[in-house]
């Protein structure tokens, strides 16, 4: 009989990317080991096969850094992000692209008198085993179901009234919106649903300059902080945007 799962499982971000890094690294490693030392590719073009150890080491190294993020770094980064707000305990929180509930559950634990809402489109390309059921199960295991709600909607189509949330958090979500115009709609939605005096903490590995610029143009006070260069892979930056009162 299968053992019941008793620990939350926050999944593997972009699982195909991690798999491909290891696969390509192993292919280069095998070529470096088993090809003859010199391979003649064309008349005057020769490959020195031991040089293939370099791409092998680079790709496997990146795969290992990614694994370190999944196993250790994402929990440290969650705590780092959530430490950027002074919690009162009664906040209304929105997690944009909550995935399997990493930040959502972390925020819900800090708000005994508040509520945390997670929105997502449950892409299995962006997060392994992604589904509302998997996230609900994690919320149960974390003991926060009574103060967390999941809604299946994209970031660019938020149904919430203006000025609903004290804090909006998001990690590794917005870069998955591929066109800039739609990303801008999502950023405008974040600003719209933030209460005056509220804070957005938006973390990503790219496009954070674009998010910061959009927030400034919308009148927010913006600063940025970098996550750990060792345990976040790819390295993450957090945009901290405060809506004036
Ligand atoms: C890499 S996962 C990160 C999940 C979670 N924030 C974390 O840090 O563990 C990215 C998440 O963004 C979600 N996502 C992608 N595009 C989205 C969109 N337009 N609106 C809402 N969620 C989206 C994916 O379904 C996925 O759950």
pLDDT tens, residue by residue, 103-123: 999 999 999 999 999 999 999
Q: Which two tokens stand for residue 66?
A: 């990614």
Give a yes or no: residue 9 inside a domain.
no
Rounded CA gap, 99 and 169, in Å? 12
Task: Give nearest CA residue, ligand 1 atom 26.
Answer: 99
**111 with 142: CB under 8 angstroms?**
no
Give a yes or no: residue 101 inside a domain.
yes
Q: Which two tokens stand for residue 109?
A: 């634990």
Tell which phi-psi region holds residue 101, choosing left (phi > 0), alpha (psi between -120 and 50) or beta: left
Q: Which 3 state secondary structure label does DSSP give 29?
A: helix
Percent of the chain with pLDDT over 70: 98
Rounded CA gap, 49 and 35, in Å? 6
pLDDT tens, residue by residue, 74-93: 999 999 999 999 999 999 99
Mean pLDDT of the chain: 96
Give a yes or no: residue 130 inside a domain.
yes
Task: Assess whether pLDDT exceeds 80 at residue 4.
Answer: no
Give a yes or no: residue 27 inside a domain.
yes
Sign for the pseudo-dihedral over CA of 80, 233, 186, 109: negative
Give a yes or no: residue 2 inside a domain.
no
Rounded CA gap, 62 and 23, in Å? 12
**143 with 174: CB under 8 angstroms?**
no
Between the CA of 197 and the centroid of ligand 1 the distance, in Å, is 26
Last residue of a domain, one of 57, 73, 89: 73
Count the neighbouring beta carbons within 10 Å of the beta carbon of residue 31.
Answer: 16
Task: Assess whether pLDDT exceeds 80 at residue 2.
Answer: no
Last residue of a domain, one of 73, 94, 109: 73
Percent of the chain with pLDDT over 90: 96
Task: Assess whether pLDDT exceeds 70 at residue 3.
Answer: no
Give a yes or no: residue 102 inside a domain.
yes
**Which H helix or E strand runs over 24?**
helix 15-34
Residue of 103, 105, 127, 132 with the most ligand 1 atoms within 8 Å of its CB, for mutation:
127
The conformation of residue 191, written as its DSSP 8-state character, comes to: H
Give a yes or no: residue 3 inside a domain.
no
Between the CA of 3 and the centroid of ligand 1 the distance, in Å, is 29
> Which band of pLDDT confidence, cut at 50, 70 and 90, is reported for residue 32?
very high
The mean per-residue pLDDT over the stretch 67-80 comes to: 97
Phi and psi at residue 86, to the nearest 5°: -85, 105
Task: Assess whether pLDDT exceeds 80 at residue 24.
Answer: yes
Nearest to 239 by CA among 221, 228, 4, 59: 221
Residue of 126, 129, 180, 211 with the most ligand 1 atoms within 8 Å of its CB, for mutation:
126
Count: domains in the chain = 2
pLDDT value at residue 1: 61
Instruction: Tell whether 184 and 231 lie within a shared domain.
Output: yes
Instruction: Tell whether 94 and 60 lie within a shared domain.
Output: no
**213 with 166: CB under 8 angstroms?**
no
* More confident call, 1 vs 26: 26
Instruction: Tell whether 118 and 157 lie within a shared domain.
Output: yes
pLDDT value at residue 6: 84
> Which band of pLDDT confidence, cut at 50, 70 and 90, is reported for residue 143?
very high
Instruction: Tell whether 168 and 88 lie within a shared domain.
Output: yes
Between the CA of 99 and the centroid of ligand 1 the distance, in Å, is 5
Identify the domain containing residue 122 by its residue range. Answer: 75-242
């Amino acid at each position: 009989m299968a053992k019941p799962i008793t620990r939350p499982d926050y999944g593997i971000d972009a699982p195909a990317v991690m798999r491909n890094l290891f696969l390509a690294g192993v292919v280069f490693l095998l070529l470096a080991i088993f090809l003859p030392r010199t391979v003649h590719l064309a008349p005057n073009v020769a490959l020195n096969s031991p040089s293939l150890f370099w791409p092998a080491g680079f790709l496997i190294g990146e795969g290992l850094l990614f694994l370190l993020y999944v196993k250790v770094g994402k929990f440290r980064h969650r705590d780092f992000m959530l430490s950027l707000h002074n919690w009162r305990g009664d906040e209304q929180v929105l997690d944009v692209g909550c995935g399997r509930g990493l930040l959502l559950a972390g925020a819900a634990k800090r708000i005994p008198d508040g509520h945390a809402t997670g929105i997502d489109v449950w892409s299995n390309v962006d997060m392994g085993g992604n589904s509302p059921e998997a996230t609900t199960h994690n919320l149960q295991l974390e003991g926060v179901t009574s103060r967390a709600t999941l809604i299946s909607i994209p970031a660019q189509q938020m149904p919430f009234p203006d000025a609903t949330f004290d804090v909006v958090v998001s990690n590794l979500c917005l870069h998955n919106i591929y066109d800039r115009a739609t990303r801008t709609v999502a950023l405008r939605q974040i600003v719209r649903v933030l209460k005056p005096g509220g804070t957005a903490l938006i973390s990503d590995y790219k496009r954070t300059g674009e998010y910061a610029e959009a927030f400034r143009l919308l009148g927010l006070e913006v600063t940025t902080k970098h996550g750990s260069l060792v345990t976040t892979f790819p390295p993450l930056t957090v945009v901290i945007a405060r809506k004036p009162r």
